[in-house]
Amino acid sequence: MSFSPALTTARLADTRVPIVDELARRWSPRSFDPEATVSDAQLDALLEAARWAPSASNNQPRRFIVARRGTHAFDAMVSALMGFNAAWAHQASALILGIAETSTVDGDPRPYSEYDLGQAVAHLSIQAENEGLATHQMAGVEWDRIVAAFDLTENLKPITITAVGTVDDADKLPEALAERETAPRTRLPLEELVLLRS
């Protein structure tokens, strides 16, 4: 089976009106170049973008564990992945574990921590696009293994693992994943998303 690399590296969103380039280009590939690396400067930029994402009451209840391919922490994350994720994520240059701090160490709840983390990871993904990198967020994870591997306390809830790297050709994936990789990008129409606009 043969796929065009152009389909995997230039998959612009078909938007109704123009949006910021990085938003239009962002998508979630599964085919990552297993030889590509991510620099300290690039990782710093991604994490800085996450740091400056909006935060309720500026509590900033998001935490991250960053692991490059070839490290024990990277392997621990890969070993906890389930389903299709386990078939491709090991090729990424780095994995970033996103953690919501659900309460303070004193037990005061932080009810918007997951929302805050989501905003931070969204900012990280757009910065990655600006850096020439791709991201793919995953939730198909055995979270109990992650908690044990990184000795997370009860108030630190792992929510997502984001693969970071350079897009590779889709035909390097197993056939079923390659088909998904090159399928048309779709979104629900605004009419279904917007309940009221006045």
Q: pLDDT tens digits for the chain (198 residues)?
A: 333 444 444 588 999 999 999 999 999 999 999 999 999 999 999 999 999 999 999 999 999 999 999 999 999 999 999 988 999 999 999 999 999 999 998 999 999 999 999 999 999 999 999 999 999 999 999 999 999 999 999 999 999 999 999 999 888 888 888 888 888 889 999 999 999 999
pLDDT at 89: 96
Question: Does the predicted model carry a pTM greater than 0.85?
Answer: yes
**Vertex 170, ends 169 and 172: CA angle to 5°?**
80
Residue 83 CA neighbour count, 13 Å, CB half: 9
pLDDT at 8: 44
pLDDT at 12: 87
In the chain, what is the straight-line distance between the N-terminal and C-terminal CA atoms, in Å?
A: 49
Give the tokens for residue 90.
């090991």
Q: Give residue for tokens 């160490």.
A: 105
Beta-sheet strands, E only, within the chain: 62-68, 94-101, 134-138, 156-165
Q: For residue 177, what is the enclosing H or E element? A: helix 175-182
63 neighbors 128 (Cβ within 8 angstroms): no
